[in-house]
Amino acid sequence: MKMRDLFSILWCYLILSTTVFAQEPYNVCSDALLLCPGQTVNANNIGANSTFCPNCEDDFSFCFQGENTIWFKFETNTVGGDVQVFFSNLIFQNGVGQGSELQAAVLATPNPCIASSYSLVSNCTNNETGDFVLNAVNLTPSATYFIVVNGAMGATANAEFIFDIAINGPGVVQNPTIGIGASTTVACVGEAITLVATVFDCDAQGNIQWFADGVFIGASSDGTFITDQLTQSTTITAQIDCFENCSETLISAGIPITIISFPVDAGPDFEIIAGESVQLQGSTTASNFVWTPALSMNNPNSLTPLVNPAQTTTYYLTSDNGQCAITDLCTVSVISALEIPNTFTPNNDNVNDTWEILGVEKFPDIYVQVFDRWGQLVFQSNGYAPVKRWDGTKNGRELPASSYYYVIDVRNENYPEVLKGYISIVR
């Protein structure tokens, strides 16, 4: 025996002799510890006891009787079949009068923890001191089975021990798979790509999570995910968590997606006063391009056309390099040349006593008219300097609180339209 192995045994013995173990929850059948394939569990029966009563969980007799039992359980897959239960690294307490053998069996039970429903489905062992295997054959698909482990009686006490336990075999091994595909593996930037995942043998499925170069891009509750947010060539993968109890995470193989892109920039947004023009600042490396809409634009086939919109307009620059057409946009916001309030309060409090029209200083020839509800002219002015503002009177006489109709002619070739609306006097 190698010195290293001897040291390990002595160390484990030291731990057993100096450590106080609390009674494990799986001392009780109803709290049987779930075993998952591919996972090794370290367990012990130190301090375990039994439930003695007719038809209780420990009221059985196979090749041994339950005296200080601990319980495990496992679930078969949707196919069922043979299952192996592996016991390894057994270390006994070896107290005075204690037994030194492990006892174990695999049980089928339609009524869990009711002893009269037990049936033995594996070899039954009652004298194990080292590594061994329980073999359960032809187990039913999608069923729960129990493993009972017991310490053999010595001169005065049952064996107590720690050990490793694991399960394997075609009856429990899950074989979920996930594969993915894409509607295209070569796409233009901004183009919608449909990603499809196909999942097999994955119970209790959660959402499918999608990743681009390992970065999360979204999730889908079914197998389909559509995205138009890929901006560069990338590798797509999908991930899903399977099985409610023995969870397993599946990650698909990657699909490389090539994104075709080239510079297209419609330039900055602009804000102009109604009647003004502005030159758009588009740019692209593609040889074919066009602006839309062409309304109020001098040349839609120029990267820098002159536009004169009458109202706020969004312009789209679309470029085509022979493989892809890419579009960018800019907005020209048109604001009124004048800011015309719809109310004022001529009550001699020196606040809002006159009808102030902002922006009139740019139009010295402006012509303003105001009419009452009967169409009678109550105010008119050539120019609208501060001293000419309407104060809510007609020929020096106060007009009643009411709504009045205005007509404003800016008298500027850039603003040919006459402005009309309503202004209210509030007293």
**Residue 11: per-residue pLDDT:** 42
Two tokens at 360?
């009139």
Residues 109 and 45 in one domain: yes
Contacts of residue 165, Cβ cutoff 8 Å, sequence gap at least 6: 35, 40, 41, 43, 72, 85, 86, 87, 88, 147, 149
Is 141 found in the same domain as 235? no
Query: Is there a single domain that holds both residue 277 and residue 328?
Result: yes
Instruction: Tell me which of 136, 168, 200 is where a domain ends.
Output: 168
CB 197 within 8 A of CB 180: yes
Question: Is the domain of 318 the same as that of 246?
Answer: no
- The CATH number given to whatever domain includes residue 364 is 2.60.40
CB atoms within 10 A of CB 373: 9
Question: CATH code at 22?
Answer: 2.60.120.380
Residues 246 and 211 in one domain: yes
Together in a domain, 7 and 137 = yes
Q: What is the pLDDT of residue 362?
A: 85
CA distances from 342 to 301, 358, 372, 376 (A): 42, 12, 15, 19
> Which domain does 281 fall in, by range?
264-335
Domain boundary at 313, 335, 357, which?
335
Omega within 30 of 0 (cis) for the link into 293: yes
pTM for this model (two decimals): 0.62
For residues 316 and 330, membership in a common domain is answered with yes
Split into its structural domains, the chain has a count of 4
pLDDT computed for residue 152 by the predictor: 97
Q: Which pair of structure tokens corresponds to residue 327?
A: 């579009």
Is residue 306 domain-shared with residue 410, that is, in the same domain? Answer: no
Q: Of the residues 318, 335, 352, which one is the last residue of a structural domain?
A: 335
| Residue 21, pLDDT score | 52
Residues 156 and 247 placed together within one structural domain of the fold: no
In this predicted structure, what is the pLDDT of residue 10?
44
Q: Please tell me the predicted confidence (pLDDT) of residue 124.
A: 97
Pair 144, 285 in one domain: no
Q: Is the same domain home to 250 and 391?
A: no
Helices vs. strands in the chain: H and E counts, helices first: 1, 34
Residues 56 and 141 in one domain: yes
CB 317 within 8 A of CB 264: yes
Given a cut of 70, the residues of the chain with pLDDT beneath it are: 1-22, 204
| CATH, residue 207 | 2.60.40.10
- Containing 277, the helix (H) or strand (E) segment is none
**416 contact partners, CB below 8 Å, separation of at least 6:** none
